Amino acid sequence: MQRVLTAVQMREAEKAAQEQHGMPSGLLMENAGRALAEAARSLAGPGGRFTVLCGPGNNGGDGLVAARFLLEGGARVVVSLVGDTGKLTPEAKRNLQALEGFGESPRAFEVLPEAGPGDVVVDALFGTGLKRAPEGVFADAIGTVARWRRAGAKVVAADVPSGLQSDTAEPFTPCVEADVTVAFGFVKPAHELEPGASLCGDVRRVDIGLGGESTRAVSGAELFRVEEKDARDALPKRRADSHKGTYGHVLVVAGSPGKTGAAAMVALAALRSGAGLVTVATRAEALPWVMAHSPEIMGVALPGEGPLGKGDLEALKAALEGKDALVMGPGIPRGPETGALIGDLLASMEVPAVLDADALNAVAEDLKVLRQAKGPVLLTPHPGEMARLWGRTTKDVQAHRVGVALNMATSLNVTVVLKGSRTLIAEAGGRVYINPTGNAGMATGGTGDVLSGVCGALLAQGIPLPRAARTAVYAHGLAGDLMAQQRGLMGLIATDLLVGLGHVWTRWER
């Protein structure tokens, strides 16, 4: 799986490559600049000119190297050093001399020729070393890049679009918007998390000689990007001599009048994700409607009426007998005792439990109930539900997605799936995984219910947490991506994902 590194971790990896593996730092910059030049060339039209904007740090050094390679290839190149050239790093200074040796001297930014269609602008102003909002000449340069892009020039960013904060993926104003971003050595949060990811355009990670071993020296939180191979490899093989008992029985506690579709979608998603059997437990008045959605769904009626509460504990314990996973929450009738009921239920069972939707809102009233859990627990909040769990606003959650997901996972000793664009999977051990699949077409009612069903099915088949969650989230997003090709982002609805899951499994079973 791909490691995602913060700016500090990048510096640690660079140090390790130099000190432990004898990698000269000049060579890292040389490799970075060469890859940058190649990306720039791939974007140019016939006869297009390259404008390379270099900042005062090592990012600028990468730009100077790229300019040299472009010149060597016979291209028309103009270079500008923006800011105080007296502050250049020693490595950048050497590359400035080398460039001058090729007969090209940087020009003042203000006198650069305009760029337009066919031309390429190389943004090497700031990379991981950006500390504050760009001002003065830097802001002017970023504004000019935007104007040239509007005029039709392509923009390739060295490492990170300038103005974008590498660790948080939050842009300052102003910030470069790139067509291509060349990520040196490792991808960074800015490439993988929104809103940064959208500002990067197409991200091309290139090796620059840091070596995979260099991450051993890296401290702090461990961030990864989920890869398709990791997700696919988790799936159990369906053996020829297997039977429905081999693949687990999921209990779904979901649905109420007006929300019977939620329960049906959880159940159908579990069935479409390989579960041997699926039973829905819900109030008697809702049960026939849930079951009518599909003859494969089994059901048990929960006696009593109204919100789920402590009085439902025995019936739920009975329903859980012989089950391999629990999914609870979508569309349940919630009341003052629902959170306590969930706590007691989790204390009485050892199979994995997925809590979603109103089960999350119920436990938000007293998170302590989750500490009673005997078995592994997966929480799948969307940002609004996470805000309730965490006692802050949705905006706060979105501004600190990685930290919030990790804190919740660690403090409650659970796995957390924080949904939304670039869904995060955080495990109690300190690792956070970023999911690259999914699209804005999935912003439609019921897609979350489908996800909780997929999670339940994979857990019932014996895939442990957090891997089951990673695989489910990846597959669910990929199902959305494949179905968006048929329905469009506008037309995609949650039940399309049930079809899409079929496409995912077909692709993975090959």
Ligand X SMILES: Nc1ncnc2c1ncn2[C@@H]1O[C@H](COP(=O)(O)OP(=O)(O)O)[C@@H](O)[C@H]1O
Kindly list the residues in this chain that would bind ligand NAX in the complex (CB under 6 A). Answer: 10-11, 14, 28-29, 32, 55-62, 87, 89, 126-134, 138, 158-160, 184-185, 208, 210
- Tell me, what amino acid is at 506? T
Say whether 479 counts as a known binding-site residue.
Answer: no
Say whether 166 counts as a known binding-site residue.
Answer: no
Shortest Cβ distance from residue 10 to ligand X (Å)? 27
The site that binds K ion (CB under 5 A) totals a number of residues, namely: 4
Choose which of 54, 442, 459, 468 interacts with ligand X (CB under 6 A): 442
Shortest Cβ distance from residue 113 to K ion (Å)? 21
Query: Three-state SS across 215-244?
Result: HHHCCCCEEEECCHHHHHHCCCCCCCCCCH
Judged by beta carbon distances under 5 to 8 A according to partner kind, the member of K ion, ligand X, ligand NAX, none in contact with residue 10 is ligand NAX
Closest CB to ligand X among residues 323, 422: 422
DSSP per position, 142-176? HHHHHHHHHTT-EEEEESS-TTB-TTT-PBPSS--
Burial class (CB in 10 A: 0-12, 13-18, 19+), 244: exposed
* CA gap 244, 260 in Å, rounded: 25
Judged by beta carbon distances under 5 to 8 A according to partner kind, the member of K ion, ligand X, ligand NAX, none in contact with residue 57 is ligand NAX
Closest CB to ligand NAX among residues 62, 385: 62
Closest CB to ligand X among residues 341, 479: 479
Residue 162 lies near K ion (rule: CB under 5 A): yes
* CA gap 328, 331 in Å, rounded: 9
* CA gap 320, 281 in Å, rounded: 9
Element of type H or E holding 326? strand 325-328
- Report the site for ligand X in 393-432 (rule: CB under 6 A): 419-421, 423
C-beta of residue 156 within 8 angstroms of C-beta of residue 124: no
Shortest Cβ distance from residue 123 to K ion (Å)? 5
* CA gap 432, 470 in Å, rounded: 10
Residue 249, token pair as written in the block: 């029985």
> By rule CB under 6 A, what string of x and - marks binding of each residue 444-483 to ligand X?
-xxxxx-x------------------------x-------
Closest residue by beta carbon to ligand X? 448
Say whether 422 counts as a known binding-site residue.
Answer: yes
Burial class (CB in 10 A: 0-12, 13-18, 19+), 328: buried
* CA gap 31, 36 in Å, rounded: 9
Spell out the alpha helix ranges (H) of 348-445: 357-364, 383-390, 394-399, 401-412
Say whether 255 counts as a known binding-site residue.
Answer: no
Stretch that binds ligand X, among 215-223, 304-312, 388-396, 442-450 (CB under 6 A): 442-450
Residue 438 lies near ligand X (rule: CB under 6 A): yes
- Report the site for ligand X in 366-385 (rule: CB under 6 A): 382
- Report the site for ligand X in 10-39 (rule: CB under 6 A): none
Say whether 421 counts as a known binding-site residue.
Answer: yes
Judged by beta carbon distances under 5 to 8 A according to partner kind, the member of ligand X, ligand NAX, K ion, none in contact with residue 123 is K ion
Q: 69 phi and psi, to 5 degrees?
A: -65, -40
Residue 157 lies near K ion (rule: CB under 5 A): yes
Judged by beta carbon distances under 5 to 8 A according to partner kind, the member of ligand NAX, K ion, ligand X, none in contact with residue 87 is ligand NAX
Q: 451: which residues sit within 8 A by CB, 6+ positions away? A: 269, 356, 380, 417, 419, 472, 473, 476
In a 3-state reduction of DSSP, which class is residue 388?
helix
Stretch that binds K ion, among 34-42, 159-167, 315-323, 368-376 (CB under 5 A): 159-167
* CA gap 433, 1 in Å, rounded: 9
Residues annotated in the binding site for AMP, as ranges? 419-423, 448
Residues annotated in the binding site for (6S)-NADPHX, as ranges? 58-62, 127-133, 159, 262, 331, 382, 449
Residues annotated in the binding site, as ranges? 58-62, 123, 127-133, 159, 162, 262, 331, 382, 419-423, 448-449
